Amino acid sequence: MEFLFEVLHERGEPLVFAFEAVKSVLKLREYRRLVKYERVNVFIDMEQYKLLKQAQEYEEGMCKLIRTQK
């Protein structure tokens, strides 16, 4: 706990500390949403996740196209 107060009393460190804390909270929220809503049970890279979602959207679009042509 003393380390935290020492960091906060430094001149530029409180801003860096606050920024890093906000980044970590946002990242944790993002991963929690992935696990909760997307039912992802393993950690995957964000780029791979985006590619997966694009592939799913493409597949859905192709299915809709086939249905409309019938």
Alpha-carbon distance of 18 to 32, in angstroms, equals: 21
Q: Is the C-alpha dihedral spanning 48, 49, 52, 57 positive or negative?
A: negative
Predicted TM-score (pTM) above 0.75: no
Q: Which two tokens stand for residue 37?
A: 């809503």
Whole-Å CA distances, 28 to 32, 34, 35, 48: 6, 10, 11, 18
pLDDT digits (tens, 9 = 90+) for 8-67: 566 667 777 888 889 999 988 888 887 777 665 667 778 888 898 899 999 888 877 676
